Amino acid sequence: MMFLGVAAVAAVAGGVSAWYVNEQMPSKIEYITTTSEHQTQLGTHFTAYEESKYPDLTYAAENAVKAVVNIEAVQRVEVPQRGQFGYDPFLEFFGIPQGYGRRGQSEPQYQERRAGGSGVIISEDGYIVTNNHVVDGATKLRVTLNDGRTFDAELVGKDSATDIALVKIDQDGLPTLPFGSSDALRLGEWVLAIGSPYNLQSTITAGIVSAKARSLGALSNDPEDFSIESFIQTDAAVNPGNSGGALVNTRGELVGINTLIQSQTGSYIGYSFAVPESIVKKVVVDLKQYGVVQRALLGIGFQVIDQTFIDHMGEETGIKEVGGIYVGSVEEGGAASEAGIRKGDIITHIDGVEVNDAGTFRERIARHSPNDKVKISVKRADKVKLFEVTLRNKAGKTELLTKEDIDVSESLGGKFVDASEKLCRELDIRGGVQVAGIKADGILARARVKEGFVITHINNRTVYSLSDLKKLTGKIHSIDGIYPNGRSASYVLVE
The Cα 190–Cα 209 span in angstroms is 7
Q: Which of 160, 243, 337, 409 is catalytic?
A: 243
Q: Which residues pair with 209 in a beta bridge?
A: 234
352 by DSSP, 3-state: which?
Answer: coil
The answer for residues whose C-beta is within 8 angstroms of residue 334's C-beta and 6 or more apart is 297, 298, 299, 300, 392, 396
Q: Which of 133, 182, 349, 407 is catalytic?
A: 133
Q: Which of 136, 159, 163, 357 is catalytic?
A: 163
Contact 385, 301 (CB under 8 A): no
The Cα 446–Cα 271 span in angstroms is 39
Neighbours of 274 (CB within 10 A): 27
The answer for residues whose C-beta is within 8 angstroms of residue 294's C-beta and 6 or more apart is 286, 369, 370, 393, 400, 401
Which among 64, 439, 120 has a CA at the least distance from the CA of 275? 120
Does 368 participate in catalysis according to the annotation? Answer: no
Neighbours of 96 (CB within 10 A): 13
Does 27 participate in catalysis according to the annotation? Answer: no
Q: What secondary structure letter does DSSP report for 297?
A: B
153 by DSSP, 3-state: which?
Answer: strand
Contact 390, 247 (CB under 8 A): no
Does 163 participate in catalysis according to the annotation? Answer: yes
The Cα 242–Cα 133 span in angstroms is 12
134 by DSSP, 3-state: which?
Answer: helix
| Catalytic positions, written as ranges | 133, 163, 243
